[in-house]
A and B are shown apart, each in its own frame.
Chain A
Amino acid sequence: MKDRFVSVASRREVLRFGAISSLGLALSGRVLSGSDTAVAKAVGAVLPQASSPLHSAGALTFGADNVLFVADISGAAIHAFALRASDITPQTGIELGNFHNFEGRDLVLGLDYKLAALLGTTVDNIVVNDMIVHQPSQQIFISAERGRGTDVVPAIVKLNHGNLEVLDLESIPHSQVALPNEPDKKATLEFEPQQRYAITDLKYYNGEIFVTGISNQRFASTLHRIPYPFNGRMGTSSVEIWHPVHGEFETRAPIVRQLIREVRGEPYLFAVYGCTPLVRFPIASLKDGAHVRGDTIGELGYGSNPLDMMTFTDPFEHKEYLLVTIDVRSASRIGISDLESAQAEPTGGPIDFGPGGLGRTQRDLPIRAEHMAILNPRWAVVIWRHPRTSYRLDLGTIMIPYFFDRRFGMSEMNWPNGPDPFEYRKHRNEIDHS
C-alpha cells in the first residue's frame, strides 16, 4: 500500500506523494535495548533535502525591515533574508542579570556543545563565526558552521528563551548579490589556485551594505558598496591608510572590522585594521573605482587583532562610546565625541609608534569575549570561554558600562563581612541564577 500525505502543519513540510511512493522502506537499523551500535544500511530513497542558499555563514548584519544580511565566503555572495514576523520571537522579559550588582547571567552554557548537538556533529567540528542582536526583539542570531573543509554546512541559529533554534532559511524570502571573486575574463586560460575574497565584515547604512575583506592573493584592501534591494550595481574602492607610526611610509592592509556613523551630519565609515589602527573614511569618498586614503585617528596598540566594533551609551553619564574588542588585549573604549573631533594624525611628521591619536586617550575594558554585541541599554551579550571552563563556549550577559561580571571576581567585597561600597548586598537577591 502506498503511503499518503495526510497533514501539513506550519513547521512540517509537504513530503510529496511521488517521493514517498518511490521509497522502498527497507528496515535495517537494529532496534536495540542496550547501547550497542548498528551501522545503518538500507536501500535507495528519494527525499526532500533542505536547500539553503548559503554555502557558508560568516559575518551578519541587520538592515531595515528585519532584513538579515549574511556574508557567504564560499559562495562569494552577500545574502539578504527578509525575516517575517514568524521568524523572530521577541525576547523581552528574559532575566538578563542583576544590573545593580554587576552580575550578568548565563544564557547558554556550552554553546559550542549545544550547537554541535543541534547540527548533528561533535564539538570539534563547530565554528561560531558571528553573533548579532535584532534590536527590536532583542533576539540573538548566531552564524555557525558544521565542518571545516569543502563540505561545510552553514546555519543561522537564533536563541529563543534559552533554546537554540535553526532558522529555516529556505522558506524565508531571499535575494543575493555575487561578489567579484574569480577572474571573470580570459576564461580560456587556466587559473589555479583560485582567488578568494574572505569577507571580514559587512554593515548596512541607509539602503546600502558595505563589505570589507581580504584576498588570499592580493593584500590590498578592497571595499564593496552595494545598494539594497540588490539591483546588480556595486561600487568597489580600494582603500589605504596613513599609519601615524610610519613617519614616512604608507601602508596597505585589509579592514578587519567596520562601523558606520554620522559625524556632524555626514556619514563616515570607521575601520579597524589588524595591528590595530582606527581609521575614518567619509562615505561620500567611497566611489566606484576610487582609491581612497583614510584618516588614521587612532593607533590602538600593535600585536593584536580586532574582534568586534560597536557603540553604546553609558547609562549613568549618558555619554556615547565606541567599543572595539581585541583578541589578545583589553577592549578599547573611545568617546564618540572624540571620534567626531579627532584630527587625522599628521602625515609626514616624526615617527610615533603609539599608542597614537585616540589610542592615547582610550580606556581599557576587561572584556575577553570571542564575540560581542550590544543587547539593550543596560546589557551586552558575549560569547566567551570562562577561565574555569575554558573547554567550552558560554553565551551570557555583561552589564554596561563596566563590562565586568562580579560573579567571576574574587575580592573582599564578595565576603560576607567585607566592605560593600556598591551596595551589592542590598540587591543581592533580586534575581534567581538557578
Chain B
Amino acid sequence: MSGPSTYEPKTAFTRWLDTRLPILRLANDTMTTFPTPRNLNFWYGFGAILTFMLAIQIVTGIVLAMHYVPNSTMAFDSVENIMRDVNYGWLLRYMHANGASFFFIAVYIHIFRNLYYGSYKAPREVLWILGVLIYVLMIVTAFMGYVLPWGQMSFWAATVITNLFSSFDQLSQLFNPHFKIGTTIAYWIWGDFGVSNATLNRFFSLHYLLPFVIAGVVGLHIWALHVPGNNNPLGIDVKGPQDTVPFHPYYTVKDSWILSMFVIVYALIVFYWPDLLGNPDNYTPANPLVTPPDIVPDWYLLPFYAMLRSIPQKLIGVLVLFGALITLVFVPWLDTSPVRSARFRPLYKIAFWVFLVDALLLGYLGSQPVDGTFFGTGISDVWLARLATFYYYAFFWALMPLLGWFETPKPLPATIATAVLGNKAAAE
C-alpha cells in the first residue's frame, strides 16, 4: 500500500527542504494521505493510545527522576517526598504508576484484537514479532520500575523474579554439579548475593534507558505496518482505492475519539482511585528479613505468575513461564488457516473467546493465595491453574494448527467496499 508518494511541496521553503530532508514528505505519506482500509473499528485505535501512553510514561518518568534517589537507604523516603512535598509530585507519580497499568490495558486489548482479526498472518509476521518484542520490553521495564519505590512488594518481587534465573542451575548441573550457571547469572544481575543497593541502582539506570529502546522498536513496528498497510475486521486484502480512505482526517479523528475516551477513564483512576491497581504492602519499606504473607506481582503479570505457581517443579515452572511468552513469536506460523478474521471462522472464534476467558482466569488465580480453592467451591486453585495453563499452550500449539485444516470458513466478501457499502454503492 505504500505506493509512490503523492506529496507536492507548495511553498519555496518546503520545495527547498524536500530536496534536502524529505521529512514533510514522510509525515504526509505516513500520517495524512496514507491509504487505510475504510472499515477499521474502534479496536484499531489502540495503537494510537499506546503511542500516547509511551509518551506519558517518558515525560512523567523524566520529571520523577529529577526527584527520585536510587539508593536503598533513601529510595523509599524520596518517593514519599515526591508524594508529600514536591509540587504536584503526587499527580506525576500517580500518572506514572497508573500510566503503566493503562499502558498494559491498552497493549492487551491491542494483542487480543490482533488475535481475533488474524492480523499476525502474512504479510504482517515481522510486524507481529516486533510487537511481541515491544511487549517483552514493556514487561522488563515495568518490572524494574516496580522495584524503584523500594517497598516490601518492590523488594520481594525483585527477589522472586530475579531468582527465576537460578532455576537454570538444574541445567548446568547436569554436566557439572559444581557449575551453577543460574546462580552466576543471578549474582551478575544483583551485583551482590541478593537484591541490594547495587541492584536498585542498575534497575534505575535501565528503567530510564528501556523506554527509549521501546520507542525505537515502536518506530520499526510502525514502519513494518506501513509496508503492507493495516489489516481490517474483514481480514481481506485491500483491492483498490475504493477500499480505502486517507488516514487524515478519517482515522486521525477516529483515533482521537477513542483516545479521549481512554484518557477519561485513565484520569478518573488517577484522580479518584489512584491506589486501586497498586498493592498496599508497597507502602511498607523493604525489609530483606520478612517476606509479606501474600506476594503478588502487578496485575498485568498475574497470568504468568499463576502458570509458574501451578507447576511443582522449579525449572519446569520457569520454562513454562518463559515458554508462554516465547510461544507468541511463533503464532504467525502456528495458525495454518488462510482466512484471517475470526468473523469467518466459527470454530476459531469459540477457541478465541475461551482463550480470552482462560487468560482472565489465570490472572485471577495468580492473585489468590497459593493454597486456596476457587470461590470456596472446593476446586483447587492450583489444579484450575494447571488446566488453564494447559489451555493456554493448547490454544497456540494445537488449536491454531489444527483448526486451519479442519474448520470450514464462511464465504469471504469480494472486497471491503462491497461489504461495507453494498454492491451498488461500491460500483459507483
Partners in one complex: no
Measured CB to CB, the residues of A under 8 A from B are none
